[in-house]
Amino acid sequence: MTVLVGYIPNAYGEAALTAAVEEAKRRTERLLVVNQVRDDRLADSHRAGADQLEIIRRDLEEAGLDFEVRVVDHGSDPAEELLEVARAEHVSVIVIGMRHRSPVGKLLLGSSAQRILLDAPCQVLAVKPA
């Protein structure tokens, strides 16, 4: 089985990656790190740079994990992309970073985290930065 983490280069992505590494070690499973980039934007703050991805690869290698770092360069819906990867890879758990939103914000805006929590074919671990 596989632990899947949706990674973005910020505090939420780092918290998710840290939790996913711990979960993969605990379960003795492969770790799949996915950085999904929206193709409907010229500049995307969710895109991890090559240097960032290389640091992640080095750290995971040093941790002795079986892992893959995958950049998905298509799609405009991060939640659906992660759910598709989860189904295709038969993952045991999806790890995501989650930010605080106000009740009005939850009502007016769609939430990728909420869609993943509700539609995932497996367990979901939602974490926040310390």
- Judge contact between 15 and 105, C-beta under 8 A: no
- Judge contact between 31 and 2, C-beta under 8 A: yes
Query: Which residue from 86, 52, 84, 45 is spatially nearest to 69, judged by alpha carbons?
Result: 52
What separation in angstroms does the CA of 78 have from each of 25, 52, 58, 68?
Answer: 26, 19, 25, 18
pLDDT at 46: 61
pLDDT at 101: 66
Rounded to 5°, angle at Cα 34 from 28 and 40: 165
Class of domain 2-127: alpha beta
pLDDT at 73: 77
Task: Show me where the domains of the chain are located.
Answer: 2-127
Confidence class of residue 2 from pLDDT cuts 50, 70 and 90?
very high
pLDDT above 60 (res 108): no
pLDDT tens column, 32-87: 999 987 554 444 456 787 889 999 999 999 999 999 999 887 666 888 999 999 99
